[in-house]
Amino acid sequence: MDACHDPKIRATAVSFRIFDCLKDHDGLTLTELVEELDKPTSTVHDHLQTLTDLGYLVREGDKYVISMKFLELGGYARTRSRLCRIAESEIRDLALDVGDHANLMVEENGLGVFLLKRKGDEALALDTFEGKRVHLHTTALGKSMLAYMGEDRFDRIIEDRGLPAATENTITDEGELRAELDAIREQGYATDDEERLEGIRCVAAPIRTTGDEVVGAVSVSGIKSRMRGDHFRERVPQKVLSTVNVVEVNLRHQ
């Protein structure tokens, strides 16, 4: 039997679609999930009951929401990352130094994953959180990694993930993106001018190993009124590049 037609595999797929729907909507009722999934009520109910019994969902009134059990799994996955362990103190210090958000991102399955996020004293709330996945081309972090990836890997990511727009400033043309990646390689860092979130700018640089493999990226992000002038074009890039240098050295020698 083909795997995609195996009822056990289909059941697993439904469970994960439920997780995605609950995350996207911050919880849903049984009726709302039935509408979202276009599945029989009995099928959705059985999945919800099983996932609740296993501890992956909890009830909040009539709504089902994702439980803290995923926090345990995510925490475990992050502790397995040597990059995360080495970079954590540097990301914290960077956030305190510049006063804004400092971030560590890695690429997984063609998407950017926020592995660490630290907040400076003057930083405003953003929609990012540790574990959040975004399209690489929409962020300075992602673009800095794309700039130093091999051509084959770059082509696969663009083919699999496309270049969807997050804001009106997102680069959605492959030729334009390639030209920007050339500029990133020339100056050593990337910028994001309201390309994923309106009103937010970002500066990022890639983390590379001695063999020039890209293993992640570091960034500073903040509101446009703060990220401007010499602060945006000179001070923050210098701070980000300095942090990346420390992380790269520690990766080689720790």
The series of mean pLDDT values per 10 residues for the chain, 254 residues long, is 57 91 94 94 94 95 93 83 94 96 96 95 90 96 96 95 97 97 96 96 94 92 95 97 97 85
The share of the chain scoring above pLDDT 70, in percent, equals 97
Give the pLDDT score at 78.
79
CA distance linking residue 91 with residue 79, whole number of Å: 16
Structural domains of the chain sorted by starting position, each given as residue range(s) with its CATH number in brackets = 3-67 (1.10.10.10), 73-253 (3.30.450.40)
Give the pLDDT score at 5.
55
Give the pLDDT score at 11.
84
Read off the pLDDT of residues 192-243 as tens digits, 9 standing for 90 and up: 999 999 999 999 999 998 777 999 999 999 999 999 999 999 999 999 999 9
Give the pLDDT score at 45.
95
Give the pLDDT score at 3.
44
